[in-house]
Each structure stands twice: as structure tokens, then as C-alpha cells.
Amino acid sequence: MKRETFITLLLMALLFGAAFHGKTGDEPFIITLATKAAIFAIAGVGLNLALGYGGLVSFGHAAFFGIGGYAAGIIASAARNYAPVMTWPMEIAGSTSMPVIWLAAIVAAMITAIPIGIFSLRTGGVYFIMITLAFAQMLYYFAVSWPAYGGEDGLSFYVRNEALGLNMMDPWTYFAVCFGVLAVVLALMAVLVRSRFGLALEMARQNPQRLTASGIRPFNVRLTAFVISAMITGLAGALYADLNRFVSPSMLSWHTSGEIMVFVILGGVARLGGPVAGACLYLLLEEVLGDVTDYWQVLLGIVLLLVVLFARGGLVGLLAGRRAAHD
């Protein structure tokens, strides 16, 4: 087994262990925290496909996270109010079934990502960073000032949605669901980046000129990666909405984009387990340092700095060493 795969599995085991500890130690909040880490890890895995493997540094993934969240929120609250989600061009009823909501979130993220991707991919480098930010900010301000779904106040739907007749309000059950989704997404990602498409994507990042000269349009490859990436992040958004039983524009804000990005970079860019490591470490630090002092964010900043300065390639890079040229 390759070292990186091993580390990913180890990280997953740690995450699971932490949640299990919360269950046996009757500290449900640890489970909630682990759930949050799992969800952010999913969002990060999504972003990592664009940012890490595709070299498309999107500073606007909050848009997809938020769109996924709002899709979940709107559908669920419509179902609770017995109102249709929309009546035009066709009538769509609300639902409280998680699989339905996930699908809707994924599709919504996809529909948003296609136009954003088409426009954004005309640019490159830092310009790409900023144009994705621009689109996310547009959505953010729209959500803040659009009154229909609560504006800045957000939208509550009180109870988690349901699936398979499980009691999702039980933290452990919900954790298991999110953990399962994370595992599936990771497996998919592992396959994807080693596939033919993954090879093309890697070339699109490293040398688009060469890719073109070989007869493949970098644009198509990138757009596909960007949209898949958005769909995964959208799914994470739906899960996050369910975790909190609440969505608000803050899911769309640039802080969220930045946070997901920090998870990925901290854990290791273009490393399979990177987002998992990043999300876990960050949330753990937040939790532990918060108890130390009111000014805990200073400590958090210092720890982050130390990680950047001394762990090349993020946490996973530190543990797994340099990536080999062939795999």
C-alpha cells in the first residue's frame, strides 16, 4: 500500500475514533465536531480536485457550498410548510428525504458551476482566483438582501431531514452518514485522479500548451473538473445545512471559501487525505485553543504559521514525504 493511501486511511480511522470516543464517553459534542470535520473534509475534497489536481485556485467555492446548503434548506422548509419549492416552469414539491435533497444540491451546484466555470476559465492564475470570488460575492450579496429566504437572517428548518428511517437527530447516526459520504467521495476521488481524465487534468495544470498540442482542449478538461468539484462541495453544503438545521448567507461568504481553502492547503494540496487532515487539525485547534484564552486566534495563527513554515506540502506532505514522480 502506498504511504499516502495509508495516511488517508489512518486519518479516517482517527476521525472515526474521535467520534466513537464521543459516543462512548457521552460527549455528543465531540461527535458533532467530528461530523463538522467530515463535512468540511468533503467540501475540501471537492475543492482539492479543482485547486490541487487542476491548479484552478477557486476562491469562490463558498458559492457551491452555499448553493448546496440553500437547496437543502429551501426544499426542506418547503416540505415542512407544505408549500411547493417552485411552481414555474414546473411545480416541484418540497421533500425531507436526504437522498432527494442531496441530489438536488448536487444538481443545483452543477447548474451554478457550469456558467461560472465557462466565464471564469477564460482567465487564469490570480485572475481566476478573483473572478471566482466575484461570482461568489454576487451570490452572497444577493442572498443577504433577497428577502424571500430570510436574507441575512437565514432559513431555519428545525429538524434534520430523514433517510432510511434513521433518527438523524441522533448525533452518532448523522455522523455515520456523513462519514460514509466522505468515504465514498474519497474513494471516487482516488479513482478519478488516477484515471485517464486525471492524467489529462494533471497535464492541464502543469502544461496546457502541451495538452493542446496533443489534441485535447484544456478548457473542456478544466470545466469538467471544476463542475465535478463544485458538485462535491455542493453536497457538502447540503450536509452542513442538515447538521445545523439552518442555512444562511454566511455559507456563501468569502470567509467560507477561504476556510475551505485553508483546510486544503493546510492538509496538503493535491493529496487525497489533505482536506481530511486539514479540516480535522483546524477544527481541533479551534476547539482546544478556544479554552486557553480569549485571544486564542493569535495562538491559532501562530500554529498555522509554524505548519506552513515547517511542513512543506501541508500535513500530509509532512507525513508522507515528497510525492514520487510515478504512481
Partner 1 sequence: MTDPVLEVTNLSKSFGALAACKNVSLDLMPGEIHALIGPNGAGKTTLVKTIAGEIAHDAGHIRFDGELISHLDAAGRARLGLARTFQISSLAMEMSALKNVMLAVMAVSGEVFRFFRHAGSDDALLGPARACLEEVGLQNRAHTRVAELSHGERRQLEIAIALAMKPKAFLMDEPMAGMGPEGLARLSGLLRDLKETAPVLLIEHDMDVVFSLADRISVLVYGEVIATGTVEEIRANPDVQGAYLGDAA
Partner 2 sequence: MSAALVFEQLLNGLQFGVMLFVMAAGLTLVFGVMGLINLAHGSLYMLGAFACAAVAAATGSFMLGLAASLAAAAIAGVLVEVLIIRHLYARDHLDQVIATFALILVFTEGTRWAFGSFPLYLTLPDALSGSVALPGGITYPLFRLLIIGVGLGIAGGLFLLVNRTRLGMRIRAGESDREMIAALGVDIGKLYTIVFALGAALAGLAGALVGSVQAVQIGMGEPVLILAFVVIVVGGIGSITGAFIGAVLVGLTDTLGRFLLPQAFGLIMDASSATSVGSALASMLIYVLMALVLVFKPTGLFGKPA
Partner 3 sequence: KVGMITTLTGGGASLGIDVRDGFMLAIKQAGNKDIEVIVEDDQRKPDVAVQLADKLIQNDKVDVLTGIIWSNLAMAVVPAAVGQGKFYLSPNAAPSALAGKGCNPHYFAVSYQNDNLHEASGAYANDAGFKKTFILAPNYPAGQDSLTGFKRFYKGELAGEVYTKLGQDDYAAEIAQIKASGADSVFFFLPGGMGIAFMKQYAQSEVGLPLIGPAFSFDQNILQAVGDAALGVKNTANWSKDIDNEANKKFVEGYQAEYGRLPSIYASYGYDTANLLMSALAKAPVSDMAGFQAALEAADFSSVRGKFSFASNHHPIQDIYVREVIKEGDILTNKIVATAMTDRDNAYVSECKM
As a whole number of angstroms, the distance between CA 79 and CA 291 comes to 40
Residue showing cell 431555519:
156
Rg (CA), the chain: 19
| DSSP secondary structure code for residue 249 in this structure | G
Contact pick of 14, 110, 111, 262 for partner 2 (by CB under 8 A): 262
Residue 153: contacted member of partner 3, partner 1, partner 2, none (CB under 5 to 8 Å, by partner type): partner 3
Distance between CA 155 and CA 47 in Å, rounded?
Answer: 25
Size of the site for partner 1 (CB under 8 A): 27
* Grid coordinates of 30: 465531540
Q: Would you say how long the chain is, in residues?
A: 327
247 pairs with which residues across the strands? 155
Q: 193 or 241, CB closer to partner 3?
A: 241
**Contact partner, 192, from partner 2, partner 1, partner 3, none, Cβ < 5-8 Å per class:** partner 1
Say if CB 50 and CB 234 are below 8 A apart: no
Q: Which does 142 bind (CB under 5 to 8 A by kind): partner 3, partner 1, partner 2, none?
A: partner 2
Q: C-alpha grid cell for residue 152?
A: 441575512
Q: Can you say how many angstroms the Cα of residue 111 is from the centroid of all Cα atoms in its chain?
A: 17
Could you tell me the smallest distance in angstroms from the CB atom of residue 9 to partner 1? Answer: 18
Q: Which does 19 bind (CB under 5 to 8 A by kind): partner 2, partner 1, partner 3, none?
A: none
Distance CA 141, CA 210 (A): 40
Give the one residue of 7, 33, 131, 247 binding partner 2; rule: CB under 8 A: 131
Q: Which of 207, 301, 321, 324 binds partner 2 (CB under 8 A)?
A: 301
Q: SS3 of 88, please?
A: coil
> Is residue 252 left, alpha or beta, with left meaning phi > 0 and alpha meaning psi from -120 to 50?
alpha
- Residues forming contacts to partner 3 in the complex (CB under 8 A) are 27-30, 32-33, 36, 141, 144-145, 147, 150-154, 156, 158-159, 171, 240, 243-246, 248, 250-251, 255, 290, 294-297
At 247, which helix (H) or strand (E)?
strand 246-247
| Closer CB to partner 3, 28 or 124, in the complex | 28
Measured distance between the N- and C-terminal CA atoms of the chain, rounded to whole angstroms: 11
What three-state secondary structure class fits 132? helix
Contacting partner 1 (CB under 8 A), which of 67, 71, 203, 265?
203
- Rounded to an integer, what distance in angstroms lies between the CA atom of residue 5 and that of residue 133? 32
Return the number of the residue (218 or 267) whose C-beta is nearest partner 1.
218
Question: Does 5 help bind partner 1 (rule: CB under 8 A)?
Answer: no
| Residues numbered 172-201 forming contacts with partner 1, rule: CB under 8 A | 191-192, 194-200
The footprint of partner 2 on this chain (CB under 8 A) covers a number of residues equal to: 42
The mark string for 213-232 relative to partner 1 (x by CB under 8 A, - otherwise) is xxxxx---x--x--------
Burial of 26 (0-12, 13-18, 19+ CB in 10 A): exposed
Please enumerate in sequence order all residues whose Cβ is within 8 A of that of 78, keeping only pairs 6 or more positions apart, or say none. 84, 85, 93, 94
Decide which of partner 3, partner 1, partner 2, none touches 250; Cβ closer than 5 to 8 Å per partner kind: partner 3
Q: Which stretch binds partner 2 (CB under 8 A): 39-47, 92-100, 115-123, 194-202?
A: 115-123
Contact residues for partner 1, defined by CB under 8 A: 191-192, 194-200, 202-203, 206-207, 209-217, 221, 224, 325-327
Contact residues for partner 2, defined by CB under 8 A: 51, 57, 119-120, 122-127, 130-131, 133-135, 137-138, 141-142, 144-147, 254, 258, 261-262, 265-266, 269, 295-298, 300-302, 304-305, 308-309, 312
